[in-house]
Amino acid sequence: MDETTEIGRRVQRLRAERGLTQRQLAHPEYTPAYISTLESGRVRPSEAALRFLARRLGVSYEELATGRPDRLGTELRLALTDAQRELTTGAADDAAVRYRRALTDAEHLGLAAEQAEALLGLGDCALETGELSDARRHFESAEHLLVTAGQPLPRRARAVRGRAVAHLLAGELRYACYLLESAIDELTESGLADPEALVLLYAAVIGPYMDMGAHARAAHAAELALALAPQVADPALVAGMHRQVARTFLAEGRVAEADASLAKAQEIYGQLRLRTDLAHCHWMRGYVHAQHGELESAERELRTAREMLTAKRAVLFAAQVEVELADVLRRLGRHEEASGLLSALLDLDAGHGAVHAGGAHRLLGLIHEERGDTEGAEEHYVQALALLERSGATGDLADLCRLLGDLLRRSGRIEAALDAYRTGLGHRAAPGTTTLGPAPAGPRLPAA
């Protein structure tokens, strides 16, 4: 049955339920003959006619046009809000149950925007639980729905960012950069330079830039995000931007500014009760303390982050924190405790945290070396090298090659040591760049 026929039958049913004749329904704007033709499905009513008839029949325009009572759409949006609250305050797998239910309802009602929102939520849940292939699938489906519905790129930015984060967590740094840079370029070149979408994308690209050693690009992205932040109304988005910008401040030795950015983010996340994001702030502050030798403070912050992420069953994020915590414990001389944490991370495969597993092998290599076990240290360094080479984590690779080269040199294997050093230099050959060509063009910012 086509849409025109469905609308006609709907008008006829509602008119009969209300005991109205065609003349009574038509008065004073239309004729009984028009109503008869409409009800028989021989004419498609205009929006003005439908709005007039909806008022006469005592229903909403949407219900008359689609057959869906207003309350169903409202109830579905409420369910999506509940799912989002569950994700921010509870466990991701519990939130996923709510999102799946909402997705089924949205599909039944034919509400594309709500379907996309449910898919984005399922993608966020999958990121927290470490199901990266599921996360990518959900984000790709959401983006496809939005494209099909004719939504502009700013509305699709969350899906692009989600896909990029999934690839980043899987160790695919270059592809994560490619997705984000392409979206930034498309936004700026098409005249759709929406501040919220740009801040979301610039904040997301800082992490892979830093991991690839592209510090100049990361700093530029941070500058642009900070410049756009006053135009952003979403406090959670601003907090996320501050959290990422702190990484660039720290890389430039601007520790006080890094800590101030993290404090701003932490305050906002605490007010909004966004527990995963708040845990990320504790994690980053722990890293800042560790970088400056404040190991006891670093341990407290990192343990807080780990407890919060473990409570939310955010597997990969908790694994990242455990690598940082193990390094602090190693530096405090608590080798057994550090080794216990790291050993559990070695099972992460190339598709689920290769960078984190590589970091665990690197630290275990350091622990073995500090104990005088050069054979064990070399074995872990080599395994770390194999994992990190696939990811393109330039800074980590260069440092690892230095550690392996030093170990080989001390054991008298000079040629093997030189090979390790050359490998490290190869990864440092073009600092501040990626393999993707020129950085994306920045938006035109208003004059100060």
Q: What is the chain's pLDDT, residue by residue, as a tens digit (448 residues)? A: 578 888 999 899 899 989 999 999 999 899 999 999 999 999 989 989 999 998 998 888 877 887 776 667 778 888 898 898 888 877 788 899 999 999 998 888 788 888 999 999 999 999 988 899 999 999 999 999 999 988 898 999 999 999 999 998 888 888 999 999 999 999 888 876 789 999 999 999 998 888 887 888 888 899 889 888 888 888 888 888 988 898 898 888 888 888 889 888 888 887 776 778 888 889 888 988 888 889 999 999 999 999 988 888 787 788 889 989 999 999 999 999 999 988 888 776 555 566 778 888 999 999 999 999 999 999 999 988 888 777 666 667 888 888 999 999 999 999 999 998 888 776 554 443 344 456 676 666 555 4
Q: Contact at 8 Å (CB) between 258 and 288?
A: yes
Q: Measure the CA–CA gap between 89 and 240, rounded to whole angstroms.
A: 17
What tokens appear for 120 in the block?
């984005």
Q: How many beta carbons lie within 10 A of that of residue 91, not counting itself?
A: 17
| Phi, psi (rounded to 5 degrees) for 300 | -60, -50
* Amino acid letter, residue 17: E
Q: Which helix (H) or strand (E) holds 134?
A: helix 132-148
What tokens appear for 196 in the block?
């919220």
The confidence score (pLDDT) of residue 314 equals 81
Query: Measuring CA to CA, which residue among 43, 30, 132, 121 is closest to residue 77?
Result: 121
One-character DSSP codes across 255-279: HHHHHHHHHHHHHHHHHHT-HHHHH
Report CA-CA distances (Å) from 107 to 101, 110, 111, 112, 152. 10, 5, 6, 7, 21
Q: Measure the CA–CA gap between 363 and 375, rounded to whole angstroms.
A: 14
Q: How many beta carbons lie within 10 A of that of residue 425, not counting itself?
A: 12
Q: Measure the CA–CA gap between 302 and 287, rounded to whole angstroms.
A: 8
The region that residue 193 occupies, defined by phi over 0 for left and psi between -120 and 50 for alpha, beta otherwise, is beta
- Cβ-count burial of 8 within 10 angstroms (0-12 exposed, 13-18 middle, 19+ buried)? buried
